[in-house]
Every structure is written in C-alpha cells, then in structure tokens.
C-alpha cells in the first residue's frame, strides 16, 4: 500500500493519540491526500514529516459534492506543495475571492473573502430536486445583479466557503462563511485562528468559536486539548494567546482560552463547534447524547461557568 487518502479530522486524531507513533511503522507512502475540510499548516507538516516520512506527495483538495470534482488542488510533479493551502484553481476553473459587495479581493491582499467560481463547468450540480428557487438562492443569487440575465457571466457560483488568495495564486480555505468571526469589522476565519493555536507545541486539538461581545460584536473563544504528558497551566494559555497575536494580530486576541480534557466530537471524530459556541454564549447545547463523548460537555460547561464567576 503506497497511497493514503484521509481527512484532516482523522489526521488530527492520529496526531493527538500518538504524535510519534507513525515513525515506528514501515510505511512507504508515495501519495497522501487530505480532503473534506481545511487542514491546518502545523497538522499538514506533521502529516508530511511523520506519516509520510518526508517522501510522499501531499495533495490537499478543495471541492464540494455539488461541484462534481476537485476545483482547487496542487497537481503532483507540477505544482509545489504548500502547507495549509488547497492550491491553485484547476485548469478551466476561474476562481476569485469577492467581498460582501461583490468587489474582487486581489491576490496577496491578505484579506479574507468569499470563494466564487466565475464560470460554469461540466460537473456542476444542475439543480435541487423539486426546488429550483432554492438552488438559485443558495448558489447564485448572492452576486447576481440581473435575475433575468441569460448570460453565464452574470451568475457566478457562490461556494459558501471563506478563503484567502496568496500572491502565488494558491487558495487557502478558512471554513464555511458561517464560521467566519466578524471582530470589530475584521473577518477572521476559525480555521485561520485554529491553525495559529496549533503552532503551540503542547496543543493537540483546537476549536475556535464566536462569543457575543458588547463592544466588538463577536470575539473568539479558544478551546484546546493537550498532547499526552502535558498538564493544563496558565503558561500554556498565555502561549496560545501569544501565538494568535503574533500570527494573526492583536485584533484576534481570544476572549478566553479553555484547556479541556477533550473536545466534544461526533462518532466520526468531527469536533462539534456548535456545542462549544452554545456553551460560550450560555445557550442551550441541545441533544448531545449522540456524541462519542457526551460526558465532556458537562465538564466544559462547568469550567466556563466557573470562569465567568471568577
């Protein structure tokens, strides 16, 4: 076996469970794919150096079920790899980053925006069964200026993902637009923040959620679990804050950093950020009995409540 195809969630779980474990196996991968969600640069580096032993080509990909195939990806032996970046648009795909008003954000601007595909392509979804209006509203209405137009140029595809575009033409996906935190007018992707947090050596997993704030509107709350052998400490919390401030900027400074025994996850290993956001904002977490670790929710709630009364 020399090809490994998996998700960032699985990679993060492996990294947390046994950071050095893959070095002890005689695996010789030549091609490793990461797909399904953005991968943080620090996790990418671990995947490359520890799992792939520095010899495998990593192909990060951005696509959706609706797109029928990859739209942004590096091509082995043609495009250089770049930790945390899906890569350039595929041949024939004209991808751009637009702001909320429809203005194009140029490459290298360092600003997050909405990932949009200007042109149609063969694999695109043709509609939603029985609900054509919903199809239009979901994917095309946002940047259409003339609903009566029959010209494809007037109907750019809105992917619903936030992203940045580097000067080299590589797209970095920041997560769903619903996951973008607007802090005093600055758009911060939760994946961007989590990537910064994961540069702290002691941190195994991280989740960033928005907390309502009277002054700034929204501010980030950070939840982290630690690698085996480390104990929670004020020093680690300060390292997390410092990493965010240095990599993202002081505007992204977390409101709180919580070191928790584990993050609430589905049985497939997905971190349930919705549950954490509810805890941060003192809202009902809903039914958590289907989680893989429902008991951790109450533990986290108690930690957050104690912090609020401190």
Flag whether the pTM goes above 0.85.
no
Which residues sit opposite 61 in a β-bridge? 73
Cβ-based neighbour number of residue 187 at 10 Å = 19
- The count of C-alpha atoms lying within 13 angstroms of the C-alpha of 96, restricted to the half-sphere facing its C-beta, is 14
Q: What is the mean pLDDT of residues 275-301?
A: 92
Per-residue model confidence as pLDDT tens digits over 74-124: 999 999 999 999 999 999 999 999 998 999 999 999 888 899 999 999 999
User: Residue 309: what pLDDT?
Assistant: 45
In angstroms, the Cα distances linking 58 to 67, 119, 162 are 22, 28, 22
Q: Which SS3 state, helix, strand or coil, does residue 99 take?
A: coil
pLDDT of 184 > 80? The answer is no
Confidence bin at 308 (pLDDT 50/70/90): low
Percentage above 70 pLDDT, the chain: 99
Output the CA torsion sign for 182, 270, 207, 109. negative
Contact 35, 7 (CB under 8 A): yes
Per-residue model confidence as pLDDT tens digits over 64-76: 999 999 999 999 9
Which residues sit opposite 163 in a β-bridge? 113, 173
Rounded distance between C-alpha atoms, residue 213 and residue 221, angstroms: 11
Per-residue model confidence as pLDDT tens digits over 187-219: 888 888 999 999 999 999 999 999 988 878 889
Contact 275, 284 (CB under 8 A): no
pLDDT of 15 > 60? The answer is yes
Q: Which SS3 state, helix, strand or coil, does residue 172 take?
A: strand
Phi, psi of 236 (to 5 degrees): -65, -40
Annotated domain spans of the chain: 3-92, 95-161, 184-309
CATH number of 184-309: 3.30.360.10, 3.30.300.30, 3.40.630.30, 3.10.290.10? 3.30.300.30
């Amino acid at each position: 076996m020399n090809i490994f195809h998996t998700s960032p969630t699985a990679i993060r779980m492996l990294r947390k469970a046994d950071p050095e474990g893959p070095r002890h196996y005689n695996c010789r991968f030549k091609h490793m794919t990461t797909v399904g969600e953005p991968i943080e640069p620090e996790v990418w580096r671990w995947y490359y150096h520890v799992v792939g032993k520095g010899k495998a080509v990593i192909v990060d990909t951005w696509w959706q079920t609706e797109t029928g195939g990859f739209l942004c990806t590096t091509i082995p032996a043609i495009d250089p790899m770049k930790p945390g970046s899906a890569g350039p648009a595929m041949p024939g795909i004209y991808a751009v980053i637009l702001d909320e008003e429809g203005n194009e954000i140029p490459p290298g601007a360092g600003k997050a925006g909405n990932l949009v595909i200007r042109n149609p392509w063969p694999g695109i979804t043709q509609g939603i069964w029985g609900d054509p209006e919903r199809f239009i509203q979901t994917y095309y209405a946002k940047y259409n200026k003339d609903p009566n137009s029959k010209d494809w140029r007037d109907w750019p595809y809105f992917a619903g993902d936030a992203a940045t575009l580097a000067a080299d033409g590589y797209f970095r996906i920041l997560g769903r637009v619903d996951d973008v935190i607007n802090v005093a007018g600055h758009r911060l992707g939760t994946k961007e923040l989590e990537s910064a947090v994961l540069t702290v050596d002691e941190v195994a997993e991280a989740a960033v959620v928005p907390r309502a704030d009277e002054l700034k509107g929204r501010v980030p709350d950070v939840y982290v679990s630690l690698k085996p052998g480390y104990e929670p400490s004020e020093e680690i919390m300060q390292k997390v804050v410092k990493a965010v401030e240095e990599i993202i900027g002081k505007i992204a400074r977390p409101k709180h950093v919580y070191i928790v025994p584990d993050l609430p996850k589905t049985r497939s290993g997905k971190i349930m950020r919705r549950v954490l956001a509810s805890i941060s904002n003192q809202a009902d977490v809903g039914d958590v009995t289907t989680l893989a670790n429902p008991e951790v929710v109450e533990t986290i709630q108690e930690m957050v409540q104690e912090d609020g009364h401190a």
